[in-house]
Amino acid sequence: MLFWPNSAPEEAAATTTTLLVNSSVPWVDRTTPVNDEFEPSEWERRVAVLEEWVVENRGLQFISPPRLEFQDQDSVLELSESIYAAIDLSSYDLATPLFGPQDASSGIDWSVLYLHAPLVIQTELTEIVTSEYLIPRLVAELTEQHHGYREDLVRLLESGLVGDQYEALATLVIGDAFFVGSGYGFYLATGIDWEPDSGCMQAFLVLFRSAFDAGTAYVCSLYAEGGWEAVDAAYADPPESTAEILGIACEPPADAAMTPLPRWPVLFYAQRGPIWFNATLGPTLGDISSISGWCADHQRVVGTDSARILIMDIWLGTPDDAEIIETETIDHFLTMEDPDLDALVVRDGTWVGIAVTRSDVDLCAELPGWC
């Protein structure tokens, strides 16, 4: 899944911010009620004025009025888990203990909730939920009403395309929501009406780690090319990879086949893409923003309940790109400092091969062509 925070933000004291803008415009209000003054009617008023701003600036009308749904932490956690189970992402996590950290955090999966239930608000956090927090969620609900992206996401999952293509569509949705959200933030900060064609923030173009940043830059570029019509058209013909989102997609070589491991049953297969790869490298590494091309990749988890191997083939745009991926991957596994992990990273031209196991398996014996 997309590597977004899956734990609730720390609670902070409620504040009232006085803005140096025209106070007659209702949607600049950033006051948030404290918990003991929580009133659904106050949130209905807030949503009504924010809905007006979203419609005016996103260029679509709500088909049905948006309605916030307030649930306590236990209910939100239960909803998160039920959505997670319904879309069957469990097999997608088989790679996490092998490629990523073993102590992956658990709890409310905000990324899944964002895509499938954006208007659910945790009651305990209402005192820190500002209008800026609500705008992207309203946009996600608006685009769902018009484009039905949730059905498309589920269709990809059901067809087995749980990896890069799924994340590319999800990144489009998130990018659309946060592109408009950035416009609302600009309006709050300056009191000046947002003009989406005023130019994309160049800083976004080099941040590979975050699907939020990459998606925002992608949607901004679509808008610059053809306005909201171009953005809406992307839902009908969505990007096929996160490499396309980042503008580094390239043609894979004709012989871009998976490294054979015939005696091992395949437990999981997906194409992963550069956003997943970079996010998985962790907070201190993952500087692959200088690569010029990500052409294709295959990732498998093979084995049995007692012995598993993760194997990944990646084809890059140039030999220099491949060297960057090789170096960052080796550094990633060294940083993990896991005595139970055995990793093999090899490079040949524009291809990089990665094999990882925590089982009693001789990787060189299984992959003699790599050693």
Distance CA 324, CA 301 (A): 24
The pLDDT value recorded for residue 160 is 63
Q: Chain-centre distance of CA 35, in angstroms?
A: 30
Model confidence pLDDT, tens digit, residues 330-352: 988 888 888 889 999 999 999 99
DSSP structure class, residue 259: P
The pLDDT value recorded for residue 302 is 94
Instruction: Could you list the beta-strand ranges (E) of the chain.
Output: 69-71, 120-122, 266-270, 294-303, 308-316, 342-348, 351-357
Distance CA 28, CA 249 (A): 40
Buried b or exposed e, range 83-108, using 16+ CB within 10 angstroms: bbeebebeebebbebbbbeeeeeeeb
Distances (CA, A) of 348 to 125, 313, 326, 331, 353: 51, 11, 10, 18, 9
User: Three-state DSSP class for 270?
Assistant: strand
Nearest to 246 by CA among 294, 183, 176: 294
Distance CA 23, CA 28 (A): 7
Which of 45-49, 165-169, 210-214 shows the highest mean pLDDT?
A: 165-169
CB proximity list for 150: less than 8 A, separation 6 or greater? 115, 116, 144
Whole-prediction pTM = 0.82
The pLDDT value recorded for residue 9 is 33
Q: pLDDT-derived band of residue 133, with 50, 70 and 90 as boundaries? A: confident
Model confidence pLDDT, tens digit, residues 62-89: 999 998 888 888 888 888 878 777 665 5
User: Three-state DSSP class for 337?
Assistant: coil
Q: Residue 308: what residue type?
A: R
The pLDDT value recorded for residue 107 is 60
Phi, psi values for residue 310, rounded to 5°:
-100, 130
Q: What percentage of the chain has pLDDT greater than the value 90?
A: 40
According to DSSP, the residues that pair with 346 across neighbouring strands are 353
Q: Which tokens hold the place of 106?
A: 């658990």
**Which of 87 and 251 is assigned the larger pLDDT?**
251
Which of 11-25, 97-111, 147-161, 237-251 shows the highest mean pLDDT?
A: 237-251
User: Three-state DSSP class for 353?
Assistant: strand
**Which of 68 and 162 is assigned the larger pLDDT?**
68
Q: Both ends of the chain: CA-CA distance in Å?
A: 32
Quickly tell me which residue has 């239960």 as its tokens: 78
Q: pLDDT-derived band of residue 32, with 50, 70 and 90 as boundaries? A: very low
Nearest to 163 by CA among 273, 11, 85, 309: 273
Q: At what angle do helices 40-58 and 131-147 cross, to 10 degrees?
A: 60
The burial class, CB within 10 Å (0-12 / 13-18 / 19+), for 24 is: exposed
Model confidence pLDDT, tens digit, residues 266-311: 988 889 899 888 878 765 445 677 889 999 999 999 998 889 999 9
Mean of all residue pLDDT scores within the chain: 80
- 4 pLDDT more than 60: no
According to DSSP, the residues that pair with 366 across neighbouring strands are none
The pLDDT value recorded for residue 285 is 43
Assess contact for 322 and 289: CB atoms under 8 A: no
**In the chain, domain spans:** 26-245, 266-370
- 228 pLDDT more than 80: yes
Nearest to 180 by CA among 240, 118, 249, 111: 118
Nearest to 180 by CA among 167, 196, 193, 168: 196
